[in-house]
Amino acid sequence: MEGKIGLEEHFAVNETLMDSKGFMPEDFWIELRSRLLDIHEKRLGLMDRYGIERMILSLNAPAVQAIPDVRRAIEVARIANDVLAEEVTKRPDRFSGLAALPMQDPEAASQEFTRCVKELSFRGALVNGFSQVREVNSTVYYDLPQYLPFWQVVENLDVPFYLHPRNPLSVGHPEYDGHRWLVGPTWAFAHETAVHALRLMASGVFDKYPNLKIILGHLGEGIPFNIWRIDNRLRKSPMGYSAPKLPGEYFCSNFWITTSGNFRTQTLIDTMLEIGSDRLLFSTDYPFEEVNEAAEWFDKASISEADRLKIGRLNALQLFKL
């Protein structure tokens, strides 16, 4: 399929580059480093070869969210956004941007998000999970009351917020001790991000700001396959859940899902059955995944051509107002 749009596609700046080193084998680091810093050469060539018309670019992980020093987090977010804006202006027909945000300070995050949308023409934001705030071992999620004014700004800007994974902190997670293979995209990414998304559903934020648009990658971080059971158990035993609606209702009204890094047709179809093809979007997760694998799988997946066109292109055009 020609004309695909990918929206979980990453780059790095010098200040965040080394955050990505541990996600690939050491002998692949030179290649990964080159991919993260490249925008207009190899990346653009792969897009041309595999029918990707546009990439909506975002900063690597965990980057800003892993900077406990609030002032430094604000500084790095602004540096990354300015670099991305400059790169996008070189080829605005092929690239768009998602803002990095210093969520350590909700007011500063609101100001930076507004700047990125109003002045830099970014199409939304991508935030790498919880933030470490002032203390290295702190874990701050965005369902907390101090983030309500931020979510109001997001709704007013009327652009999507991509909740992207990061690893849980090593402190307080003995289940991963001695099992490094479980961290990162194998398992911990999905678990951490799903819990964060469910916390947002339970917080009441979608009742206060019903037009919020949240994106999850990797075919929903496991939520589509568990949402019925979550709702079913909460009907029988709320256990402190107090939101007016069940999580499944928020999931189907406020969330969009991408195919990033999860190239399996059975999983795609299950997600379509849960959330509908109008809320699914093609993505690669480049440079951590391969463009050819994502594109060749998607172009041949056993779905209707109407759904392929929606997921590959039309839904992104509508969601991001492209």
Q: Could you give the residue numbers annotated as active site?
A: 285
Concatenate the DSSP letters of all residues of 228-241 into one string: HHHHHHHHH--TT-
For residue 255, the SS3 value is strand
Kindly report the backbone phi and psi dihedral angles of residue 215, in degrees, each rounded to the nearest multiple of 5, phi listed first: -110, 135
**Which among 238, 220, 218, 242 is positioned nearest to 230, based on CA atoms?**
238
First-last CA distance in the chain: 19
**Cβ-based neighbours of 211, under 8 Å, separated by 6 or more:** 155, 158
Q: For helices 148-157 and 106-118, give the axis angle rounded to 10 degrees.
A: 10
Distances (CA, A) of 141 to 180, 315, 322: 24, 28, 30
Whole-number Å distance between alpha carbons of 111 and 107 = 6
| Lookup: tokens for 8 | 């979980």
Asked if residues 213 and 316 have their Cβ atoms less than 8 Å apart, the reply is no
Specify burial of residue 297 (Cβ count, 10 A radius: 0-12, 13-18, 19+): middle
Residue 112: name the closest of 147, 156, 82 by CA.
82
DSSP 313: I
Q: Cα separation of 216 and 305, whole Å?
A: 23
